[in-house]
């Protein structure tokens, strides 16, 4: 690698690293605000735990930020070199466009290797560790999710209000003035309970809170027409009612996290595929078995193609960066975002075919990368002949 190659390689590497960091931050921000910021401000997650969870989310977003960062780095660097006439000087010295792009392709190939490592090893490990640490933090202080003088909407299909929480032990607390609304799928009230007192305790085995109420008044709406107030409300009980169970599945599930295909390593995915292929097939379950196998194949191919996109984005970005010849960051970023959106839209549409294995969506996932390679090759040949 001569001086010119090192210059192009270092320029694109530094720009791509900054772009990857930018896209990773954008992708992480939504997860931080949705899952971590609220519990942190409410005192439900310690600051140190929140920091570790943020770090563990980095490999997950890097998987998607690497292709975007590489494309942006190529467009910005080659656009600047072209606008400064450095590309013109290189070509006047007899250096072809493919030769100029050699360091870009080398960097992109290294990026593919890194992407495969992240997608099949680092990201699954980080995601599992993230879920475990979040689960441990919630289990260490579960009653912090029950707040007084607040309408609690975190639990599925209900809203609960607690006027006052008395002093209690770690797993049990006295309650005063409890209001509970049971909702249907359209968020309409089906049942309402108001109790003067009660207590709550956390059942770690069932992963749920158990709220026992006393001195309660209960009303039930017509389940077929809950908003029809012309009908009298039913009040089946007065006094003590059956315990209310509030699931904590939103924060961590009862099932093992390894059951999610996207969190599996390459070895685990291959083992899962072999297990499904060797499992006995029920008389009426052959189609479902084919769908389950296709989901595993899609997961493997998606991880491979996401890593391969680092190279194909760079390959298509070389002639685009030289041809556009812009120094403006916003213009090149806009091109990168448009191309990436087109790519990921195609991938999402193909992913919808996971219930139709006969269409071979695992093979169709290669189409976006092949299209980008074809586009880059066509543009390179045109540019080299110009």
- pLDDT tens profile 51-62: 898 999 899 899
pLDDT at 155 over 80: yes
Provide the strand spans (E) within the chain. 151-152, 158-165, 172-183, 189-203, 208-220, 238-239, 244-247
Tens-place pLDDT, residues 66-119: 998 999 899 888 888 888 888 888 888 888 888 888 999 999 999 999 999 999
Do 66 and 111 meet the contact criterion of CB atoms below 8 Å apart?
yes
- 149-170: average pLDDT: 79
Tokens in use for 299?
Answer: 């997961």
Indicate the SS3 state at residue 108: helix
Residues in the chain: 386
Tokens in use for 237?
Answer: 């009980």
Summary count for the chain: helices (H), strands (E): 13, 7
pTM of the model: 0.74
Element (H, E) at 94: none
Strand partners, 217: 194, 238
Do 107 and 101 meet the contact criterion of CB atoms below 8 Å apart?
no
Tens-place pLDDT, residues 268-296: 999 999 998 888 877 666 788 888 889 99
β-strands 238-239, 189-203 pairing: unpaired
């Amino acid at each position: 690698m001569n001086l010119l190659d090192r210059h192009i390689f270092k320029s694109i590497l530094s720009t791509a690293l900054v772009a990857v960091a930018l896209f990773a931050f954008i992708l992480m921000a939504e997860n931080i605000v949705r899952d971590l910021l609220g519990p942190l401000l409410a005192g439900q997650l310690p600051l140190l735990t929140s920091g570790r969870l943020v770090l563990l989310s980095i490999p997950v977003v890097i998987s998607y930020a690497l292709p975007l960062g590489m494309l942006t780095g190529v467009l910005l660097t080659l656009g600047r070199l072209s606008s400064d006439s450095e590309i013109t000087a290189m070509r006047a010295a007899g250096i072809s466009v493919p030769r100029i792009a050699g360091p870009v392709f080398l960097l992109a190939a290294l990026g593919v290797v890194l992407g495969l490592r992240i997608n099949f090893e680092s990201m699954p490990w980080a995601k599992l560790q993230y879920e475990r640490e979040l689960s441990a933090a919630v289990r260490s202080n579960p009653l912090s999710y029950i707040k007084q003088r607040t309408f609690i909407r975190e639990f599925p299909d209900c809203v609960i209000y607690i006027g006052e929480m008395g002093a209690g032990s770690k797993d049990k607390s006295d309650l005063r003035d409890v209001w509970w609304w049971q909702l249907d799928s359209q968020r309409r009230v089906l049942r309402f309970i108001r109790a003067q007192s009660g207590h709550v305790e956390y059942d770690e085995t069932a992963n749920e809170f158990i709220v026992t109420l006393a001195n309660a008044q209960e009303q039930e709406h017509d389940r077929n027409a809950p908003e029809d107030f012309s009908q009298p409300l039913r009040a089946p009980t007065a006094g003590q009612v059956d315990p209310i169970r509030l699931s904590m599945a939103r924060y961590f599930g009862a099932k093992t996290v390894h059951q999610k295909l996207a969190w599996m390593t390459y070895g685990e995915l291959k083992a899962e595929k072999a297990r499904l292929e060797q499992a006995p097939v029920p008389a009426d379950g052959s189609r479902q078995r084919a769908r389950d196998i296709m989901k595993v194949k899609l997961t493997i191919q998606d991880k491979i193609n996401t890593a391969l996109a680092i190279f194909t984005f760079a390959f298509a970005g070389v002639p685009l960066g030289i041809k556009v010849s812009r120094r403006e960051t916003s213009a090149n970023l806009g091109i990168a975002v448009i191309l990436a959106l087109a790519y990921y839209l195609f991938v999402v549409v193909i992913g919808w075919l996971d219930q139709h294995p006969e269409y071979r969506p695992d093979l169709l996932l290669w189409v976006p990368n092949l299209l980008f390679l074809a586009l880059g090759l066509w543009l390179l040949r045109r540019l080299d002949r110009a």
